[in-house]
A and B are shown apart, each in its own frame.
Chain A
Amino acid sequence: MTQPLHKRESLWFAAVAFLLVILLPLADAFGIIDHFTLNTWGKYLCYAILAISVDLLWGYTGLLSLGQALFFSLGGYMFGMYLLLMIGKMGQYKSDLPDFMVFLGHTQLPSFWKPFYYFPFAALMVVLLPGLLSSVFGYLAFRSRIKGVYFSILTQALTYGAALMFFRNDMTMGGNNGFTDFRFVLGYDVRSPGTKRGLFIATAVLLLGVYALCRWLTKTKFGLIQRAVRDSENRVLFSGYAAANYKLFVFVLSGVIAALGGALYVPQVGIINPSEMTTEKSLEAVVWVAVGGRGTLVGPVIGAISVNALKSYATRAFPDLWPLLMGTMFILIVLFMPKGIVGLPTQLHHYWNHWRHHRKPSPEEEEATAELTTKPTSAE
């Protein structure tokens, strides 16, 4: 965060941008990496966007939201509605209506579906609906000063309720099966390598943009207050800041970021259904952040990509053991690596120094040990 690092960071940023936006798509176009790999990485980048949104809330503001998967899939659903209408008569039933509606015996497109024929409207809704939902929910929650674990539990309930709603067939949102079999996006065939490349580039640009935005935001005075809210909300309140407004803004912003990630995720994966909006998915995103290192912006990206790469390897190599591995990894990281992968070098450095000099533990370490053995706060 100090100034001298800034230049180095910009260089890194430019290098990664070059790699993601130019190098990888080129490699794909010339057949150096196969289309499947690029597509998989596009998916990881969407997850990285989701992870940044989680970290903006959890790492920077101290709000552990278990509802980020809801915003992610809401964005996905909004865009999915557009994609589904673009199938036109090429569906299984050769009807203008989406397949599931024909299957459920609808004869007419519900009126709220109609505007989704227009891409700009769908794109607007990707931002608007999650933004609206997060503002209403955030306003209610922060106004009555619900914080800490209560906030987590409430967002969990919100997600659960929404998933129940989307599972219902009479929502006319595809019920259990959700949306799938997409054909066209903006007139291009979703399945062609070229479109996929385009989507990858869009995702990369979005990720870089989100990163830059969050980087800027967390550096401003706003970011300072954000972290102050995380560390001691009462002091922020006593200093005369309306902590609730800051929290609401961050909550809505991260909801929208997650939704944008979700909107780009759906055409690349080709399916969206209510099982994407469960609490477990939100918690998985939290795992990525914890693994990568919370309270940093690089951490979530590293975490999302590494955990998912490991997951796609492990679910193929030893599917039965993957949940065990993930559970154990998660427990160990929470217990022993509070700063995640990003904080690992510093942590190791400390241990190394300690081992080499046989000296008394550094004050930081003392603090860490004290934290580990602190008793529960009293129930009063």
Chain B
Amino acid sequence: MRGATAPDAAQASIRATIDQALTSTDSAEQTKLIRSLSVTGGPYAAQILALWREGNIFLYKAPDGKKIPVTLVETKDAQGLQAAIKVIDGTPLTGPDGKPISLKFSLLESAETDASLRKAIKDVNDMAALADPDVKLRIRAVQSVANEQNPAKLPALEARLTLEQDPLVKRTIHESIALITLKTGEMKQRIAACVELGNLGSIPSQDALKATVTSATKEGQADLAKAADTALSQIASHVTFVNTIGTMFRGLSLGSILLVVAIGLAITFGLMGVINMAHGELLVVGAYTTYVVQCIFGPGLAISPFGFSFSIPGFHATGAAYDAYFILALPFSFIMAALVGVALERCVIRFLYSRPLESLLATWGVSLLLQQLFRLTFGSNNVQVDSPSWLSGNWTVNDILFGWNRVFVIVFAVLIIVLTWLVLNKTPLGLLIRAVMQKRDMAACMGVRTERVNMLTFGFGSGLAGLAGAFLSQVGNVGPSLGQSYIVDSFMTVVVGGVGNIIGTVISALGIGIVDQSLQQILGNPVLGKILVLGAIILFLQWKPQGLFVTKSRSLES
């Protein structure tokens, strides 16, 4: 059974103690022995004691009259006998001849427990949970001890504190100890506990502190009430700090979303001057590409556009292999959206370069067309795109929650900006793009094929939109009208940043994100915040009609 693994010295001594307790006939001594394990025992002792409490440890009467505590293996042989294992060292029970002895379950006497013993065992178990190797479970155990408000458990917590390495668990233990003493300690200790909780900025202890203030005021314990009050205000300022940082972080991640969505537009609209109302649909192309790649990794995909139904078989991958779909989906999203973008440029936009208002209208037609195509192909409901497991979960520092997907958003935005910067500044294509956008005629005179550069630039911008779509599939729903919800925001971002300027777009996206989240925090209402942001943008453009960064020019019409 469980004892079959080679026990090291600590485990051997635990087994010896338990064995001693099992064979003892004095209940008080038994309890004392068990309690001695509460600090040192840990999960190992808890396992064995659990068997005892459940009546699964038996006392085998040896031929010499000694009682040997044993456990039984689970498998029964033909006669219904089970092999026995000694508790003391985990070796099989052997007879005088050295052969293993099998016993009949029904004929055995199980080791008994009384109330005080059971309580001792439970305490050992509770304390064992404090030593659980999983940090999260350890924290939960500490918190449950704090909830019990039992001063008898303080020594165990203190003992654990000396052993504990993890700073988060240490903090929780400090918090729990203070909470328990706050309730049960003497006046001096209680005041000290208040100070401790205040210094820790312990958010969960606010209720307990408030209760302390009320009761202390009622009983005229001015010092205690004052200490608790100070602690509460300390905690309140900690909460403000946490909220501020949290808001900044959420603002940063919202800004990153805006940035990722708008960066493609900063190229097609900002550099090329094309108003592409179908930009949102290019996002959706990227998002659906991610969906298709996911389906190919998973169960496959059956779609029926225009009544033709066909299905793509899937690889039925699971676990890490399935999670890897997202890595592959990124380049595919880029390529698909870039292809759609190039087709759009060749078929529609290239005729309308000199008529920007009309390119707005024509691309709106394209957007209607694409939306309906999505609807007919994938249905009008949202499709399910799973996040890879490494994007879920979060990271808590000093009570501030950093969700992995939000962190990912920021990292992804940084990557995209770096990619864009590299392409524009370090590749031959980037050189051509910049040349053509700065002085088209001169570039053409130098032999640059400007038509081709237009096409590639538009394709690149569209591809970035596709990447953004792949990314949006991880933070929200994917449906045919996904793009519509981002189109106003992304145009705003580019206009505020200053058309023709990537850095401007970066700053305006982050600025809008942070302002939006702060307003939400202050007003407590997302929609109102959004409306105020729109109003603020309109007023901002009064002050700087060309956006944050103005591209200097002597041209009259630009």
Which residue of chain B is the closest to A373 with respect to CB atoms?
A: B351
Q: How far is the CB of A178 from chain B (nearest CB, A)?
A: 17
Which residue of chain A is the closest to B362 with respect to CB atoms?
A: A334
| A234 with B527: CB separation less than 8 A | no
Measured in the bound complex, the distance between the Cα atoms of B366 and A167 in whole Å is 28
**Chain A proximity mask over B60-89: 1 for CB below 8 Å, otherwise 0:** 000000000000000000000000000000
- Would you call A133 an interface residue if the criterion is a C-beta within 8 Å of the partner chain's C-beta atoms? no
| B551 with A380: CB separation less than 8 A | yes
**Chain A proximity mask over B241-281: 1 for CB below 8 Å, otherwise 0:** 00000000000000000000000000000011111000000
A156 contact from B353, B491, B528, Cβ within 8 A: B491
From A76-84, A100-108, A321-329, give the one contacting chain B: A321-329
**Chain B proximity mask over A115-158: 1 for CB below 8 Å, otherwise 0:** 00000000000000000000001001101111011101110111
Measured in the bound complex, the distance between the Cα atoms of B358 and A378 in whole Å is 18
Contacts of A160 in B (CB 8 A): 488, 534
| A377 with B495: CB separation less than 8 A | no
| B353 with A376: CB separation less than 8 A | yes
| B361 with A286: CB separation less than 8 A | yes
Known contacts A146-B545, A377-B354, A330 near B365 by CB under 8 Å: yes
- Would you call B303 an interface residue if the criterion is a C-beta within 8 Å of the partner chain's C-beta atoms? no
Contacts of B558 in A (CB 8 A): 377, 379-380
| A334 with B440: CB separation less than 8 A | no
- Would you call B10 an interface residue if the criterion is a C-beta within 8 Å of the partner chain's C-beta atoms? no
| B530 with A144: CB separation less than 8 A | no
B354 contact from A154, A323, A329, A371, Cβ within 8 A: A371
- Would you call B450 an interface residue if the criterion is a C-beta within 8 Å of the partner chain's C-beta atoms? yes
| A283 with B534: CB separation less than 8 A | no
Contacts of A144 in B (CB 8 A): 541-542, 545
From B213-221, B368-376, B420-428, give the one contacting chain A: B368-376
Contacts of A283 in B (CB 8 A): 361, 364
Q: How far is the CB of B258 from chain A (nearest CB, A)?
A: 14
Which residue of chain B is the closest to A336 with respect to CB atoms?
A: B351
| A165 with B531: CB separation less than 8 A | yes
Measured in the bound complex, the distance between the Cα atoms of B351 and A373 in whole Å is 6
Measured in the bound complex, the distance between the Cα atoms of B358 and A290 in whole Å is 10
Contacts of B375 in A (CB 8 A): 320
| A378 with B495: CB separation less than 8 A | no
Known contacts A146-B545, A376-B454, A152 near B357 by CB under 8 Å: yes
- Would you call B356 an interface residue if the criterion is a C-beta within 8 Å of the partner chain's C-beta atoms? yes
- Would you call A86 an interface residue if the criterion is a C-beta within 8 Å of the partner chain's C-beta atoms? no
| B365 with A378: CB separation less than 8 A | no
- Would you call B535 an interface residue if the criterion is a C-beta within 8 Å of the partner chain's C-beta atoms? yes
**Chain B proximity mask over A215-247: 1 for CB below 8 Å, otherwise 0:** 000000000000000000010000000000000
Which residue of chain B is the closest to A329 with respect to CB atoms?
A: B365
- Would you call A2 an interface residue if the criterion is a C-beta within 8 Å of the partner chain's C-beta atoms? no
- Would you call A375 an interface residue if the criterion is a C-beta within 8 Å of the partner chain's C-beta atoms? yes
Which residue of chain B is the closest to A287 with respect to CB atoms?
A: B361
B369 contact from A64, A150, A327, Cβ within 8 A: A327
| B538 with A140: CB separation less than 8 A | yes
* CB proximity to B under 8 Å, residues A331-349: 331, 334-335, 338
- Would you call B437 an interface residue if the criterion is a C-beta within 8 Å of the partner chain's C-beta atoms? yes
Which residue of chain A is the closest to B274 with respect to CB atoms?
A: A376
Number of A-B contacts defined by CB within 8 Å = 157
| A375 with B371: CB separation less than 8 A | no
| B542 with A143: CB separation less than 8 A | yes
| B361 with A330: CB separation less than 8 A | yes
Q: How far is the CB of B313 from chain A (nearest CB, A)?
A: 28
How big is chain A's contact interface, by range?
A: 35 or more
Which residue of chain B is the closest to A63 with respect to CB atoms?
A: B357
| B351 with A161: CB separation less than 8 A | no
Known contacts A378-B438, A378-B439, A378-B441, A331 near B538 by CB under 8 Å: no
- Would you call A168 an interface residue if the criterion is a C-beta within 8 Å of the partner chain's C-beta atoms? yes
Contacts of A58 in B (CB 8 A): 357
| B541 with A146: CB separation less than 8 A | yes
| B538 with A334: CB separation less than 8 A | no
Measured in the bound complex, the distance between the Cα atoms of B542 and A143 in whole Å is 8
- Would you call B311 an interface residue if the criterion is a C-beta within 8 Å of the partner chain's C-beta atoms? no
- Would you call B555 an interface residue if the criterion is a C-beta within 8 Å of the partner chain's C-beta atoms? yes
Contacts of B545 in A (CB 8 A): 144-146, 150
A149 contact from B360, B439, B557, Cβ within 8 A: B360
| A380 with B373: CB separation less than 8 A | no
**Chain A proximity mask over B534-547: 1 for CB below 8 Å, otherwise 0:** 11011101100100
Measured in the bound complex, the distance between the Cα atoms of B495 and A157 in whole Å is 11
Contacts of A203 in B (CB 8 A): none
Measured in the bound complex, the distance between the Cα atoms of B436 and A380 in whole Å is 11
Q: How far is the CB of B354 from chain A (nearest CB, A)?
A: 4
| B348 with A320: CB separation less than 8 A | no
Contacts of A148 in B (CB 8 A): 356-357
Measured in the bound complex, the distance between the Cα atoms of B272 and A229 in whole Å is 25
| B538 with A153: CB separation less than 8 A | no
Q: How far is the CB of A62 from chain B (nearest CB, A)?
A: 8
- Would you call B492 an interface residue if the criterion is a C-beta within 8 Å of the partner chain's C-beta atoms? yes
Which residue of chain A is the closest to B278 with respect to CB atoms?
A: A327
- Would you call B500 an interface residue if the criterion is a C-beta within 8 Å of the partner chain's C-beta atoms? yes
Which residue of chain A is the closest to B539 with respect to CB atoms?
A: A140
* CB proximity to A under 8 Å, residues B508-558: 527-528, 530-531, 534-535, 537-539, 541-542, 545, 551, 553-558
Contacts of A331 in B (CB 8 A): 348, 362, 365-366, 369
- Would you call A5 an interface residue if the criterion is a C-beta within 8 Å of the partner chain's C-beta atoms? no
Known contacts A164-B527, A334-B361, A157 near B368 by CB under 8 Å: no
- Would you call A68 an interface residue if the criterion is a C-beta within 8 Å of the partner chain's C-beta atoms? no
- Would you call A372 an interface residue if the criterion is a C-beta within 8 Å of the partner chain's C-beta atoms? yes
Which A positions have Cβ atoms within 8 angstroms of B? Answer: 58, 62, 64, 137, 140-141, 143-146, 148-150, 152-154, 156-158, 160-161, 164-165, 167-168, 234, 279, 283, 286-287, 290, 320-321, 323-324, 326-331, 334-335, 338, 371-380
User: What are 16 contact pairs spanning A and B, CB under 8 A?
Assistant: A140-B538, A152-B275, A154-B495, A157-B537, A158-B534, A279-B488, A327-B365, A330-B362, A330-B368, A331-B348, A375-B354, A375-B450, A375-B454, A376-B353, A379-B273, A380-B439
CB-based closest 10 A-B pairs: A327-B369, A330-B365, A327-B368, A376-B353, A323-B372, A374-B354, A161-B534, A380-B553, A331-B365, A144-B545
